[in-house]
Structure 1
Amino acid sequence: MAAIFIQTLPFFMIIALGYGAGRTGFFTPQATAYLTKFVFYFALSAMLIRFSANLGLREVFDLPFVLAYVCGSVVVYLLATGIAWLRGIRAEEAAVEAQCAVIGNVGFLGIPMLAILMGEAAIASVMLVLAVDLIVFGALIVVVITGTRDGRMRPAVLGTVGLGLLKNPMIVSIVVGLTWSALQWPIPGPINEFLIILGGAATPGALFAIGASLAGKSAERPHVAGWLSFCKLVLHPAAVAVAALLVFDVAPYAAAVMIAAAALPVAGNVYMLAQHYGVAAQRVSTAILISTVLAAVTVSLVIGWVQPLY
């Protein structure tokens, strides 16, 4: 376990470096925004295109895997929603809290870290987790919030969700890479080197951007954020593990990657959605901060726990 913690420590050290740069003002919020944009639209996209271009659709899509991840996530999602309702908060706030409980930082933290710690073979499973998060739960929160505010479900909401997915560079990159793979075209040498160099900036850039963005987050309702962090770091991987290993009989290695991905801290895009809709943004900010700090230990514990599976 100590060896795994030492392996994960450099990733969180880069996050801490970014946090220090942001906290001291050396890295301004504007600089953080531009770095995040570079990673999101360019570096991470290059990494995803290169990885997915070397995979086939059959290697990526696994129905038992999807069912296990969705079912395990839904259990925690409903639990977080139920606890929120018992506290008497609004449905849209409950939806945001439930999102915190199941949506991890798969794009910026999971893809670069798990590819290194668990091998490049983990990329297919991590991309599938990312796709489920974006397509299923990313759509769900938009539907719940807009439906609650309008009092009914409008067809235009589905168009908004679809357009959002089409504009997401991570989804676009995966589709482009898988399409290239399906056509069985070799990647020309210069383009492959271009993708390797550009994609190489994704890991340090994403981790630094996570830390710098955390520097600007302030605390609100830390007891609620602590509960949501517990859901994300402990209950979510536990529920996914039960679904993958005991219910849907997912292949051991894929199950290990799925569980590790479920153990990641709350994703930054949950904050972006909360801020966009004006719902509990400070609470989400606190949950991201707490879960990211604790993840330095909990992610190592989870990866150590699943290691015998592969």
Structure 2
Amino acid sequence: MLEVANIVLPVFALIALGYAFRRTGIMSAAAITELNRFVVYLALPALTIDIIISSSIEALWQPGFIIAFEIGVAVLFIPVLLFHWMKSKNLARATIDATAASYANTGYIGIPLCLLAFGKESLPPAVIAGILTVSFNFAFSIILMEISSKKGASIGAAFKDLAVSLIKNPLIVSPVIGGIMLASGIHFPGGVTQGIKLLGSAACPCALVATGLFLAQKQETTSALVSIELVLLKLIVQPLIAWFFAYHVFSMPGIWAKTAVILSAMPTGTGPFMLAEMYGKGAGIASRTILLSTIGSVITLFIWLSVL
């Protein structure tokens, strides 16, 4: 139990530190934007490239892991989307709710926690889950939001806008760069490699502090019942689904199975809030769900790490 506490507590201590620094005014609102930009544009892409070029294609190709993780997302996303859409008659708000119920914080909390819990061997699956989350899963949510916002306008234009935004996303570009280098056998010069490693090592602590800064923002007044529903689905149902498929359906290395479950048990990431802000709908539900799921995950992650 003490061993698990030593894994969980440092992660949430850094989140709490960011929260406290923002609440006390030591770090301003501008720090949220700037630190987040550093993590997204420099630190996490560097960490992603470093992990990929340090691995092998055989080690990274684990289709069972990908399917188990994505089934956990789909089994929540689709029913929540349909139920909330029928209830509210609003596709945009239903998309925000469905994303909040299934969008795991794989990058900012998942990677640091997996590193502490399972060591460097867990970083490749953590990065793959992060790529799936910020590319495929987030892209699907954007498509639904575009369809909702355009209301009969060209869906082709929505896909074009989406493609451009994905191409510009460093979290999408970095694994492509790493994959090309791994497949081609090209290597960076030694000094460049060390620079990438230095940047990558800053990703985990900065991401956790950035999470705390984000959570310290004032929460909009919204229905607590909806957020509680989404949090229960995210923290309890999603990891149970991933556990079933990772351990009882697909064959994969033990470390990959554990990582699939832990990453599925992550609290809601900032994706749904970003969607809500971009389209001006559902920000209150998104931010409250992120806050409550992050607090609740202290307990649920402790339980999962103890069981696994």
TM-score bin, normalised by smaller chain:
over 0.9
Bigger drift between 96-105 and 65-74 goes to: 65-74
The aligned residue for residue 189 of structure 2 is: 188
% identity of equivalent residues: 27
Give the whole-Å Cα distance in 1 for the aligned partners of 2:29 and 2:183: 41
Deviation larger for 15-24 or 131-140: 131-140
Whether the 8 Å CA contact 1:102–1:236 is kept in 2: the answer is yes
TM-score (norm 1): 0.92
1:210 corresponding residue in structure 2 = 211
Tell me the equivalent position of 2:34: 34
Equivalent residue number for residue 174 of structure 1? 175
- Partner amino acid for 2:146? T
Alignment partner of 1:248 is 2:246: no
Contact 1:14-1:211 within 8 A present in 2 as well: yes
Aligned to 1:266: 268
**SS at structure 2 position matched to 1:267:** coil
| 1:221-273, Cα deviation, whole Å (9 max, x unpaired) | 22211111111111111111122222333443211111100111111122111
Q: 1:93-108 maps to which residues of 2 (within 5 A)?
A: 93-108=93-108
Assess if the C-alpha contact under 8 Å between 1:72 and 1:236 holds in 2. Answer: yes
Q: Is the 8 A contact 1:55 1:178 kept in 2?
A: no
Per-residue CA distance 1:194-231 (angstroms, 9 max, x = gap): 12222221121111111011111404222211111111
Cα gap change, 1:185 to 1:85, in 2 (>3 Å): closer
- Equivalent pair of 2:88/2:94 in contact (CA under 8 Å): no
Q: How many residues align?
A: 306
Give the deviation of 1:58 after TM superposition: 3.3
Contact residue 43 and residue 201 of structure 2 kept, 8 A? yes
CA displacement at 1:56 relative to structure 2 = 2.8
Q: Is the 8 A contact 1:217 1:285 kept in 2?
A: no
Task: Write the deviation string for residues 67-88 of structure 1: whole angstroms up to 9, x where unpaired.
Answer: 2222222111123224424643
Deviation at 1:50, TM superposition (A): 1.0
Q: For the Cα contact (< 8 Å) 2:69–2:129, is it kept in 1?
A: yes
Letter in 1 for 2:57: L
Match of 2:148, SS state, is helix
State how 1:37-76 maps to structure 2 within 5 Å. Answer: 37-76=37-76
Give unpaired runs (5+ residues) of structure 2: none
> Residue in 1 aligned with 2:303?
301
* Candidates 237, 240, 253, aligned match of 1:238: 240
- Determine if the alignment matches structure 1 residue 137 to structure 2 residue 137: yes
Aligned to 2:223: 221
| Structural RMSD (CA) | 1.8
Q: 1:75 & 1:304 partners in 2: Cα distance? A: 25
Which range is displaced more, 76-85 or 196-205? 76-85
Do the aligned partners of residues 89 and 4 (structure 1) sit closer, same or farther apart at CA in structure 2, a change above 3 Å counting? farther
Q: What amino acid is the match of 1:147? A: I
Query: Relative to structure 2, which stretch is displaced further, 261-270 or 170-179?
Result: 170-179
1:197 aligns with 2:198: yes
Unaligned runs of 5+ in 1: none
CA distance in 1, matches of 2:111, 2:56: 18
Matched residue type, 1:63: P
Distance (Å, rounded) in 2 between the aligned partners of 1:245 and 1:82: 29
Q: CA separation of 1:84/1:185 partners in 2, compared to 1, >3 Å: closer, same or farther?
A: same
Q: Aligned partner of 1:221: which letter?
A: S
> What is aligned with 1:111?
111
Q: Does the aligned pair in 2 maintain the 1:77–1:101 contact within 8 Å?
A: yes
- What is the letter of the counterpart of residue 116 of structure 1? L
Q: Distance in 2 between matches of 1:68 and 1:299?
A: 18
Aligned-pair distance for 1:27? 0.9
